[in-house]
Amino acid sequence: MATERTLSIIKPDATKRNLTGKIVAKFEDAGLRVIASKRIHLTAAQAGEFYAEHKERGFYGELVAYMASEPVVVQVLEGEGAIAKNREVMGATDPAQADAGTIRKEFALSKAENSVHGSDSPASAAREIAFFFSGLELVG
């Protein structure tokens, strides 16, 4: 399997509860390497642009407000099959459906406040990495 890069976001519910280190440990234990990382506080406009593909969904306004409510940690993770591997480590969107040992099973508060975001395809990963980072900031 090829080495890939994917975009991860440690979401407001998790940064607020001081879970950044515990979540990064899950990525590293799964063989994913953090090759870029920064803590930022998104504006509602930035969060809205990032999640533009969800504009038509009923929860879009809530999602944007939540993502702009507290700081987030945005990271690029690199590894073999990193996009799918990160989604595995994250677990299902709804923590009630997530497998044991996943980040969302252990830490998520609800389907909305679910602690992490991860790119879902190579095209999304490319767009999302470029949304937050310049090439100079990716240090593999």
Binding stretches for ligand GDP (CB under 6 A)? 59, 62-63, 93, 111-112, 114, 117, 120
Distance CA 10, CA 94 (A): 16
CB of 136 to ligand GDP, least distance (A): 28
Closest CA to 23 of 36, 9, 35: 9
Alpha carbons 108 and 94: distance in angstroms, whole number: 8
Bridge partners, residue 37, by sequence: 75
Distance from C-alpha of 18 to C-alpha of 70, rounded to nearest angstrom: 12
Between residues 33 and 111, which has the closer beta carbon with respect to ligand GDP?
A: 111
Is 6 annotated to bind a ligand? Reply is: no
Is the distance from CB of 68 to CB of 42 less than 8 angstroms?
Answer: yes
Least separation, in Å, of the C-beta of 10 and ligand GDP? 12
Q: Is 5 annotated as a binding residue?
A: no
- Report how far residue 140's alpha carbon sits from residue 82's, in angstroms, rounded to the nearest whole number: 13
Q: In the complex with ligand GDP, which residue's Cβ is closer, 53 or 137?
A: 53
Task: Flag whether 87 is marked binding.
Answer: yes
Kindly name the residue from 19, 117, 118, 133 that is annotated as catalytic: 117
Query: Shortest approach of ligand GDP to residue 40 CB, angstroms?
Result: 17
Check if 117 is active-site.
Answer: yes
* Closer Cβ to ligand GDP, 43 or 121, answer by number: 121
Do the annotations mark residue 59 as ligand-binding?
A: yes
d(CA 37, CA 2): 22
Binding residues for ATP: 11, 59, 87, 93, 104, 114
Q: Which residues are identified as catalytic? A: 117
